[in-house]
Amino acid sequence: MPQDSHFKSTLSVLPHSFQTSFFNRLNHLINYSPTIGLMGKTGSGKSSLINALFQSALSPVSNVSGCTRQAQRFNMTINNHTLTFVDLPGVGESLERDREYHQLYRNLLPELDLIIWVLKADDRAWSSDEQCYRFLTEQCGYQSKRFLFVLNQADKIEPCRQWDEQCHQPSPEQAVNLELKEQAVITAFKPHHPVMTVSAAESFQLTELAEQLIQALPAQASSGVARQLNSTYRTQSVENSARNDFGQCVSDIVDTLIDTLPLPVLIKSTIGTVKNSIVSVAKSLWSLFF
């Protein structure tokens, strides 16, 4: 493993069994392959957003089947690292008494790190989105912190003729209406994370979206997603946030090993005292890994 050498001075005093397990788990963490769910009506701009945010194009993989209810799987790969997207069906369907949807989501939800929910800014009503959201949170038990709501196509908000095409920004009047729409999303969905108002077509506030996405992702997934972002959106804030998550995961690994490895108490306390150095070394190597 190439990372062994960097950790040598910090880890050499520790037992071999610890070193082996540590590198094993570290490797696992570095190679974690994130999966993001996509929700929202057809035409809301899910594909456009993903194509704008990430470096590589999406390629279709096999479909995940729940008989007639299917979710489409896409992925992108850079240097052998894969990021998967699952285009989820459900918005606009009658879900309540549908056992196949239950089955599909029972299978799917546990593997999703986050669901990006795309709403169209100029849509008048999101009742079918709300219905589907309630189904996922109340009946399938998916937590609200696992959803990131995106208000896309901001350029289409009324008065849509006023969009500033030179600066790729809304007019003051549009900005007021976007703010109202954002409030409407908050009222309807009570989202855990801030609602991100963007335009995929106009590259409006995609930096903010990328930063919020990295923050919303679980710690073990954020670095693997940051790795795939378009360089424009791989900002300092994105990198810091992912690096800190990575440090947290490494710290958790050390804690777990202290708890689970059959080692003398004295050795365990020694590992505890070098934990911060291990985490520092790992964080300093973040850009090498990701």
Ligand X SMILES: Nc1nc2c(ncn2[C@@H]2O[C@H](COP(=O)(O)OP(=O)(O)O)[C@@H](O)[C@H]2O)c(=O)[nH]1
User: Which of 242, 244, 252, 228 minimizes the C-alpha distance to 33?
Assistant: 228
Nearest approach, Cβ of 47 to ligand X (angstroms)? 3
Give SS3 for 2: coil
Q: Which is nearer to Mg ion, 50 or 282 (CB)?
A: 50
The verdict on 160 binding ligand X (CB under 6 A) reads no
Binders of ligand X in range 181-220 (CB under 6 A): 199-201
Q: How far is CA 86 from the centre of its chain?
A: 12
Whether cis (ω within 30° of 0) applies to the bond prior to 89 is no
Residues 93 and 81: their CA atoms lie apart, in Å, by 34
Q: Residue 73 binds what, of Mg ion, ligand X, none (CB under 5 to 8 Å, by partner type)?
A: none
Pick 18 or 74: Cβ nearer ligand X: 74
Binder to ligand X among 20, 24, 42, 107 (CB under 6 A)?
A: 42
Nearest Cα neighbor of 74 from 103, 100, 46, 52 is: 46
Residues 44-63, interacting with Mg ion (CB under 5 A): 46-47
Min dist CB 256 to ligand X, Å, is 39
44 binds, among Mg ion, ligand X, none (CB under 5 to 8 A by kind): ligand X
The CA-atom distances, in angstroms, between 57 and each of 72, 77, 229 are: 15, 9, 11
Site for ligand X in 22-41 (CB under 6 A): 40
